[in-house]
Copies of this chain bind each other. A is one copy, B any other.
């Protein structure tokens, strides 16, 4: 017997036939095991693909400066519908099932409407029902505030809901069914020899998600890491006759302790680098001739932080003229116009000469827990890129990640070069 949370996204829930396929996958998970036991199963669902967009548009048409509390009332209905429909479909297949809406469990969130965060999930009723063999169907993305109003967690929040439910019920595993069948060493559309990883650590997944690997929402990985939830990413395009999720067809995301154990069990050799990610969503900003004096940088980044604009890489060059410096940093492309306006507004305090912006950049990151204990990973990266004439505009590093900023046109070349350089290319069996 295991306790399993399964999560299905909007594409999997789009219409009666697809919901039936999801129900078949759930049935397979809930079926008796060879030893006669059964898993306790909770399913977290997204709204039908396209439905949340439809509801968001209605809310914006009603009031462009919408009240987030009423916005949440409107958009949370999409998941309410699919949770009821999946419960009905499971019942139609002879299973016991019921839906548990955010306010029914309840999923208590901190009241920041439209971007709420889960504070606590009261799992008592849920566990009792699951213990009696009832499959729990839970709408993702939604919760309830202390004031008893519906909250939602921002787009993609259903992954986070699933992990939060898994943490609350002490699930043995949280299976995220998605349109890819696992986490790869890099984007298979760029590198044909990319390999599916059997397992990665939470830390690695967090770094990969934050630098553009779109498999999981960053916040869900961060919550899984904090709560120690074992996550599995696997494809929802299987049918009820395929192998069970217990046979590990996807990618497991686990703690480092379990990773070490898994490596022994699966006879995997740990690579220095686990994966290579790229991210084309950032833009570069250069402020020229900023006075090189204490507090100057605070004048730049204070206003951006106050406006919730996320600054990533920062480089400060020594300027040609004494007492002046150029400051380079990156912000999300979507925030670039706001960032420019804010900087112009604070031109007086900052004292820069010109703003130069560039959206034609890409961030390439190599990620791997293995690099913690091995020097030279960064040097290898710079050497491999230099050999192909790829110019590095900026560098940031963490314990398990090295990111470089390059010209966007060289993205694919850089990813392929690094994938080969770190020995990640698949053997002959991969196309």
A: number of interface residues (CB 8 Å): 40
Q: Tell me the residues in window 61-75 of chain A with beta carbons closer than 8 Å to chain B beta carbons.
A: 61-67, 69-74
Q: Which residue of chain B is the closest to A48 with respect to CB atoms? A: B58
Copies of this subunit = 2
Q: Interface digits, A52-95 against B, CB 8 Å rule (1 contact, 0 not)?
A: 00010011011111110111111011101101111111011000
Choose one: B16, B84, B150; the contact of A70 (CB below 8 Å). Answer: B84
List the one stretch of A96-104, A236-244, A310-318 in contact with chain B.
A96-104
Indicate if the CB atoms of B74 and A59 lie closer than 8 Å: no
CB within 8 A of A85: which of B62, B87, B99, B103? Answer: B62
A244 CB to nearest B CB, Å:
24
Cα(A34)–Cα(B200), bound, Å: 71
In the complex with contacts A71-B84, A84-B71, A62-B77 CB distance below 8 A: no
| Contact A81 to B67, CB < 8 A, known contacts A62-B19, A89-B62, A149-B104 | no
CB of A148 within 8 A of chain B? yes
* Contact (A101, B73) CB under 8 Å given A58-B81, A81-B55: yes
Q: Is the CB of A83 within 8 A of B73?
A: yes
Inter-chain contacts of A83 with B (CB < 8 A): 73
Interfacial residues of chain A within 102-151, with CB under 8 A of chain B in the complex = 103-104, 148-150
Q: How far is the CB of A69 from chain B (nearest CB, A)?
A: 7
Interface residues of A (CB under 8 A from B): 16, 19, 55, 58-59, 61-67, 69-74, 76-78, 80-81, 83-89, 91-92, 98-99, 101, 103-104, 148-150
